[in-house]
Structure formats: C-alpha cells, structure tokens
Amino acid sequence: MKRKGQGSPPDDPEQPPEEQVYDQEPVEPSMVRERPRMAYRATPQIGARSLLAAAFIKRYSSLLERLGQAAPDDAIADALAAPDEVGGLAALLAQVGPDTARATDPLASARARGAQAKGELLRQAGGALRLGEAAHRLGVSPQAVHARRKRGTLLAVPQANGEWLYPACQFGPDGALPGLGLVLEAFGVRGPWTQLSVLLAPAQALGGRTPLQALQAGEAAAAAQAVSTYGEYIA
C-alpha cells in the first residue's frame, strides 16, 4: 500500500479534489503576494478651450493656403526672411490681403498694414524688451517696471496677445535714458504707439532730429517741448 503524500496521487481516483491530501509546507500569510492592481485612468475629455483652438486652426489654415497660392515668390521670400512670424505674416497680408480677404473682411488689408507699420516702428526702435528683460536692464523687479509703465515714465506698447513690449531705444547703458519720464509726461496724447512714432519722427523744432536723438544727446527739455506739439497720428 502506497503512502499518501510526497507528491504521489491519492489511492482512490474517485476521491473528490477537496478531500485529496498532499504534503505541503505551510505558507505564511506574509509570504502571499497580491497581484498589483492597475491604476484606473480616466479618459481625458476635450475641453472647450481645446475645441476653440482647433476651430481657429482649421479656419485660418485655409487663409494661409490661399495666401501661399496668391502671393508672388518675392513676397513669400520676404515673409520667410522676417525676424518673427507675426511681422512676416503682416507683410504678406499687406501685399496680397486684398485679393484673398476682400469677400469676408474689407478691413483685413488695413489691419495688416497697421500691424506692418507697428513692426517697422519696433525695428526702428532697435527692437523691444519683454517685461523680465526690461526689469533686468533697469535692475528692478518686474512689478516696478509695471508700475513705471502705469505712471507713464516708461514706454511700453501693447501686443495682440495682451503682452507689453518695451522699445529698446529708451534704454541706455545705465538704465532708462535720463529725462525719459519728462519727455513722456510732455505728450498731449497717451497712445503708446503714437508716442513711439513721434519719438522716432524728425522734428522741425529740433533741426530735423528726432525727439529720441535729442533725448539721447541729453537735451530732454528740448525733446519734451517738441513732443508736446504733436497730435495723434496712429490709432
């Protein structure tokens, strides 16, 4: 008669499985490992902001296609050579906008010319600094730069995305040009793009120099007198 256990099958093959006995070492509960549970991940939902952005891209992608087909080669080359995408697109719209957008927006060409003019002003101003860069140049906090802009002692021009850019021409090696606040306060108009255009425009009262050039030469009072006579030229 065979002994049960040691891995041998039971004597009675008809014995139910629950009654079959095998020799096994007892298993401690601490040695039992549970199968790790998979973390539940909810499927992300597309928010309204994403849908809005997708609709915007879909609509204006067709405009870019029309511009690319209608624009001459030299206009496309100029757009690609522009220092930034906004300026390049504005230049392209200024040249071929009327042919591609007249049916839907008769003011599109005028807006494009306005954007191009603003880009040209910033180029004449030597470029522009973002808030953090202006703060670093002045050696102050971004909050202090913002306060100066609000007081009108530092010039900043608004962008379509809500950002403010600080024309580089108003800064010198040691911070803001001496007398800048006096000149900005002398303006009879408060539009920042207008102020920038006036600062960069030759003035008869200054012998053909620009108010900016007079300011850079240390003639803040003369520059202030010159800008005080200007009206608003750019909306």
Question: Residues 190-222: pLDDT tens digits?
Answer: 899 999 999 999 999 999 999 999 999 999 999
- Res. 34: pLDDT tops 60: no
Give the pTM: 0.56
Per-residue pLDDT for 125 more than 90?
Answer: yes
> What six digits make up the tokens of 37?
């549970």
In the structure, how many helices (H) and strands (E) does the chain have? 10, 5
Is the per-residue pLDDT at 130 higher than 80?
yes
Residue 51 backbone dihedrals phi, psi, to 5 degrees:
-65, -40
Retrieve residue 11's tokens: 């004597």
Q: Give CA separation, 114 vs 13, 118, 199, in Å.
A: 96, 6, 18
